[in-house]
Amino acid sequence: MPDWKFITKHTVVLSIIANNPRITALEIAGKINVTERAARKLIAELYETGYIRKKKEGRRVVYAINSDKPLRQNTHRGVAIGSLLETLGWEKQQEN
């Protein structure tokens, strides 16, 4: 069987962050079997493109999802990332 997946690493990382906003890059790396550096790169790309926000709480970073942001594919720009995450089991929390 070919070695390809339906869900990209960016989507997996976004889903992990959505379900655990206080997770570290090292913990993400362990979950998706990549180096911490690779996990940090994925997180940085999600941040730079506006899919996540970061806030420092002491020494930790807490993430938040910009769930209204559209998917990046031209064919699905009308779909918000939050809808995809909900399909993957995310339950959106109300922000304070």
Q: Which tens digit of pLDDT belongs to each residue from 39-95? A: 999 999 999 999 999 999 999 999 999 999 999 888 888 899 999 999 988 987 755
Decide if 42 is inside a domain.
yes
pTM listed for this prediction: 0.87
* Domain membership of residue 82 as a residue range: 9-87
Decide if 58 is inside a domain.
yes
Decide if 1 is inside a domain.
no
CA-CA distances (angstroms) from residue 53 to 25, 33, 56, 80?
Answer: 15, 24, 10, 16
- Number of separate domains in the chain: 1
